Structure 1
Amino acid sequence: MNTRIKFLRKNSGLTQEKFAERIGLKQNSIALIESGKRNISDQAILSICREFGVREEWLRTGNGEMYAPAPTNGLDLLAKEKKLTHGEYILIEKFVGLNPETRKRILDYIQEVSAALSADDIPADAPAIDCRESAESLHAELDRQLGIEKKEAAGESEAS
């Protein structure tokens, strides 16, 4: 793996110092990794893959294509640009997959909750909210609404 890291660094036209800076390591760590005197951490491997767009399998084993395929849709481009986590990607993907009316209801609800939380008239002795219970009830409501949409969509496709 050390030779592939050195190849990638040189192919990118970077000094050990600049390469290390981009992945959050020090120059001497890169020198030791490239010379095979130090093993590279999984975190550093993931940083290299993310920062330089190389495939983890190639970096670890030399198998397959060096570079990951370019993003093919807007969400993939956004995910790469903003370094979205897998969970953030799924949240956005599922949200934009909803019909416009459901998205509007969700946004309206979020605004309503936000306004209520920022209101100055919340009594000082207001009961504590069980966030887990609130999240579960929100999830149940969203599931209920999605179920209605699926039934409506199934009815439309049967009518066609």
Structure 2
Amino acid sequence: MQDRIRTLRKTLKISQNEFGKKLGVSNTAISKLENGENSITEQMIKSICREFNVNYLWLTEGEGEMFSDFPETILDELKSEYKLDDLDMRIIRAYLSLDEAERDIFKKYFSQIQTDLEK
């Protein structure tokens, strides 16, 4: 699994620091995972899968494709159910790609717009 974690990170073209930041751990923790110095917890496995859209079986067993299409399926369902156009989808994808701090800024901005519209 340590090799698959390294492969994933390199496929995403991000540093150990960036990878760890998304998961809430240090680059040292990621380095130790990749080098087999620390074992990976089930919680970390699930975090990696959720954060980077990784196929759980690929990460744990090396089976199947690296990335899961599950989130795209959910987005496709939203697009259909709410009749979203391409701009709507770009907005949703852009929001989902933000980190927590950036989402907080966006939510504050959006809340202010909503308050102004209600006046």
Percent identical: 36
Partner of 2:50: 50
Query: For structure 1, which runs of at least 5 residues remain unmatched after alignment?
Result: 82-160
Partner of 2:27: 27
How do 1:144-159 and structure 2 match up within 5 A?
A: none
Equivalent-residue separation in structure 1 for 2:58 and 2:24 (angstroms): 21
Partner of 1:73: 77
Equivalent-residue separation in structure 2 for 1:44 and 1:26 (angstroms): 13
Equivalent-residue separation in structure 2 for 1:15 and 1:50 (angstroms): 18
Higher mean alpha-carbon deviation, 65-74 vs 15-24, is at 65-74
Partner of 2:85: none
Aligned partner of residue 29 in structure 2, secondary structure? helix
Query: For structure 2, which runs of at least 5 residues remain unmatched after alignment?
Result: 80-88, 97-119
CA shift, 1:66, in A, is: 1.3
Equivalent-residue separation in structure 1 for 2:25 and 2:40 (angstroms): 10
Equivalent-residue separation in structure 1 for 2:40 and 2:16 (angstroms): 14
The CA deviation string for residues 89-111 of structure 1, in whole angstroms up to 9 with x for no partner, is xxxxxxxxxxxxxxxxxxxxxxx
TM-score normalised to the size of structure 1?
0.46
Aligned partner of residue 37 in structure 2, secondary structure? coil
Equivalent-residue separation in structure 2 for 1:24 and 1:62 (angstroms): 24
**Residues paired across the two proteins, number:** 79
1:57 maps to amino acid: L
Aligned partner of residue 19 in structure 1, secondary structure? helix
Equivalent-residue separation in structure 2 for 1:9 and 1:28 (angstroms): 14
Partner of 2:12: 12
Q: CA RMSD in A?
A: 2.1
TM-score normalised to the size of structure 2?
0.61
Higher relative contact order (CA 8 A, sep 6+): 2
Equivalent-residue separation in structure 2 for 1:67 and 1:15 (angstroms): 19
Equivalent-residue separation in structure 2 for 1:51 and 1:27 (angstroms): 16
CA shift, 1:52, in A, is: 0.6
Moved over 6 A (4+): none
